Structure 1
Amino acid sequence: MTPTIMLDRLVEHLQSVTENFEMQTNIPGIKKAPQVVAGYLSEKKPAQKQEVPDYPYVIVRFLKDNDDNDGAVARVKIIVGTYSQDAQDGWRDPLNILTRIKQELLARPVFGESFRVEKPIETDMPEEQPFPEWWGSLTLNVIIPQMEEEGGFL
C-alpha cells in the first residue's frame, strides 16, 4: 500500500462525512457540500468564471512518512476552507467541519480496510484569517501497511 492509495481512501472516507453539509460558497446564492480532494485544489479562477465554486473545500495532503522497525506512519494534513461574509462568526464553519471529521476519525479510526488513524490529532485555527475566506486544519498520523523484506542475508 502506498501513501497515494491511503490519501485516495481517506478522501473517499471524508466525502461520506461531509456530503450532508450545505454551506455558503464564494458565489452568491449557491450552497453546497465541501469538495474533498487529495493534494491541491485546481487552478483558482475569479468567482464569476467558476463552474463549481472553490469554497467550501477539504484538502487531504501528504506531508511525510517514516518507516522504521516498529512500522510505517504517514503524516497527513486535512485543510478545510470555507467562505462567509460574517466577520464575527465565519470562523465557526471550518471549525465545525474539522470537529465533525475529527469525531469520525476518533470513532472509526480504520479506513480503506488497511489504514488506521493514531492519536494525537492536532487541530489548528490560525489567528490570522483571509476574510471572507476562513480555514483551519487537522494534522494526523496514519499507520500504513509496511513492506516486508524479501529474501535474507547469505
Structure 2
Amino acid sequence: MDSLNMTDELVAFFTRELSDMRLQTKDENVLKAPTIYDGYIPQKRNVKRGEVDSEEDDYPFVIVRFLYEKDDLKGNNVMKFRVLVGTYSKDERQGWRDNLHVMNHMKFALKEAGFVGPGELTGEIELALFEEQMKPIWRGIMEVDFATPAVQWNRSEAGDAYNY
C-alpha cells in the first residue's frame, strides 16, 4: 500500500462515515454533509467576473493530507495523516461545537473500524481546535497514524527503464 492509495482510502472512508451529517453552510437555508478533499481544496473562480469565490463557500469540509511515512525496510511501515476540518457558524459562542462534533464522529468511526483499507489504526489520534478562529468559519485538526504493509518494488516488472 503506498501513500497515494492510503490517502484515497481515507477520503472514501470519511465520505461514507460523514454522509449523513447535516451542517450549516454560508446559506442559512442549506445544510449539508462535509465535502471531503484529498490534499487541498481546489480553488474556484467566478468566471463571469474573473474573481475567486469566497472561501466561505467551501464550508463544511474535511481535507485528508498525507504528512509522512516511516519505512524501516524490515516490513514495518507507518503513515501519518493530518485531517483538517472546517465548519461554518455565525454563533460566536457555540460555533466551535460543530467542528468538534465532526472530529469526534471521525475519531469514533476510525476506532470502531480499526482499519481503513489495509491500514491499521495505530499510535494516537490527536484532535485540536485552532486557538484563533476566523469567525464565522471554524477550524480544527486531527492527526492519525496507520501501520500499512510495506511496499515492495519488483524490478523485473519495471523493464529496461531502470537498467542503466
Give yes or no for TM over 0.5: yes
**SS of the residue aligned with 1:128?**
coil
Q: CA RMSD in A?
A: 2.0
**2:85 aligns to what?**
80
Q: Which residue of 1 aligns with 2:16?
A: 16
Unaligned stretches of 5+ residues in structure 2? 45-51, 156-164
SS in 1 for 2:58: coil
Q: Does the 8 A contact of 2:2 with 2:151 survive in 1?
A: no
The verdict on how the C-alpha distance between 1:150 and 1:11 changes in structure 2, with shifts beyond 3 A counting, is closer
What amino acid sits opposite 2:66 in the alignment?
F
TM-score in terms of structure 1 length:
0.88
- Aligned 8 A contact 2:25 2:88 in 1: yes
What SS class does the counterpart of residue 10 from structure 1 fall into?
A: helix
Q: Max radius of gyration: which structure?
A: 2
Q: Distance in 2 between matches of 1:76 and 1:124?
A: 14
> Is 2:69–2:77's contact at 8 Å kept on the other side of the alignment?
yes
**Identical aligned residues as a percent:** 33
- The answer on 1:127 being equivalent to 2:131 is yes
Matched, 1:60 2:57: no
Q: Using the alignment, how far apart are the partners of 2:62 and 2:153 within structure 1?
A: 36
> TM-score by structure 2 length?
0.83
Higher share of residues assigned helix: 2
TM-aligned CA deviation for residue 148 of structure 1 = 4.1
Match of residue 53, structure 2, among 21, 41, 46: 46
Provide the residue aligned with 2:110 in structure 1.
105
Q: How many residues align?
A: 147
